[in-house]
Structure 1
Amino acid sequence: MDLLTLHSLSKQFHISPYYLSRIYKKGTGFSFVEYLNQVRINEAQKLLKTTSLSVTSIAEKVGYENPTHFGRVFKKVTGISPLKYRKTFL
């Protein structure tokens, strides 16, 4: 599975990443990266609630290569760590 990135998307539309970023933010009100993080974290929340996969496995499944970075982004978006999030649903 290819990861969705600003660069890969800009290549698909034959425009520069900078331009795509600008028009995306203008159209949606938030950056492409903010949107992508939100989608990934929403999926991670579902997996944390419904599976017994490790946090590292979930991070990889939703597109984060670095579990530490995933943990930081997850906490920034939700306000709590992935493990604390999972514990609230046990």
Structure 2
Amino acid sequence: MKIFFNQLQPLTEGFRPCKRCRPDLQNYLTTKEQLIEKAIKVMSHTYSKEINLSELARELYVSPFYLQKIFKNKLGISPAQYLKIKRIESAKELMINSRLSMTEIALEVGFKNSAHFSSVFRKIVGVSPTAFRSALQGD
């Protein structure tokens, strides 16, 4: 009897995966990875609404400190930073695919006012929202 220590070893020796349990199709995530995926899913669906770390943690049944810690350790950014990036990406899509004003876009993606939107956009993208849209239109 031979013991294999990973899924690739038996394949290199000519064996096939078990047809009953299908270990080749299983995706094993740690509980921390599952929590991060759930947090990202929640933020992706609610990015246009006001949501803070405490509310997000409560929805996921964990403490805010724990959520912040594992999110930052795994992704290198905080949930708040992720949310800002998600909002900016959505704003860029709206700039490309709609004729909404910058204020309308800012409110649509969850910013309270266009000045804050412009500041965050410039920090993340490197140019103002107006310059970004102008570059898209070739002006």
From 24, 38, 41, the counterpart of 2:71: 24
Unaligned runs of 5+ in 2: 1-45
The alignment-based identity, stated in percent, is 37
Aligned pairs (5 A) from 1:9-88: 9-88=56-135
Q: RCO (CA 8 Å, sep 6+): is it higher in 1 or 2?
A: 1
Higher helix share: 1
Q: What amino acid sits opposite 2:69 in the alignment?
A: R
TM-score using structure 2 length: 0.60
Question: Larger Rg: 1 or 2?
Answer: 2
TM-score using structure 1 length: 0.88
Unaligned runs of 5+ in 1: none
What is the number of residues matched between the two proteins?
Answer: 90
**CA distance in 2 between partners of 1:38 and 1:80 (Å):** 14
